[in-house]
Homo-oligomer: A and B are copies of this chain.
């Protein structure tokens, strides 16, 4: 029987890869740089991962750096608000922000990373589906509502605001976005007064 198989120093290599990605961005991420940072010969890296996207894909898959919890606050509006806040945090906190920006930015350019991002988003959606199941059980959700549409609008709005517009995220951004996306509010924490007779949705502020 042979001994252990597979790369022995993948831990150091993945760590160096993600750190350098966050520091320099995808474009200036170099395999020789990773080797140097990891204290490893570049031959070792090339033996296991044939290309930069392959290495990055393995590194991202191996480390759960972009995972954040799925909230359960008791209301759809609360869950969506919490989701927005978590997403904003991930895209704002410097450590994960650079990483997420580089990874998702590079995904637009590279098929291998695109596939990775694709499954990442699919997994995220699957994890977030319970939010909508619970909301439906509470009667907060009109049937026919498409969770993917809500999630995409939510994530996309945060993405555009933080990484494309680069505008500061106001205090009530999460709540406003959740309110906009709630197919039916009802329990909006700051919705204050009674609903308009014609169904105009309440809004914080």
Contact = CB atoms under 8 A, between A and B. Distances in A.
Interface of A: 25-27, 101-102, 104-110, 114, 117-118, 121-122, 139, 142, 144-146, 148-150, 152-161, 163-166, 173, 176-177, 180-181, 183-184, 186, 195-196, 198-201, 203, 205
A197 to B, nearest CB: 10
A181 B199 contact: no
Contacts of A196: 142
6 contacts: A102-B109, A142-B196, A149-B180, A153-B154, A153-B177, A153-B180
Q: How many identical chains are in the complex?
A: 2
A184 B199 contact: yes
A157 B161 contact: no
Contact of A104 (B108, B117, B145, B184): B108
Interface SS of chain A:
helix
Contacts of A107: 105, 164
A12 to B, nearest CB: 25
Nearest to A120: B164
Contacts of A139: 198
Contacts of A145: 203
Given A25-B109, A157-B157, 14 more contacts: A26-B27, A27-B106, A27-B110, A105-B109, A142-B201, A144-B203, A149-B173, A149-B176, A149-B180, A152-B165, A153-B154, A155-B160, A183-B200, A184-B198
A161 B26 CA distance: 23
A164 to B, nearest CB: 6
A144 B205 contact: yes
A152 B148 CA distance: 16
A180 B150 contact: yes
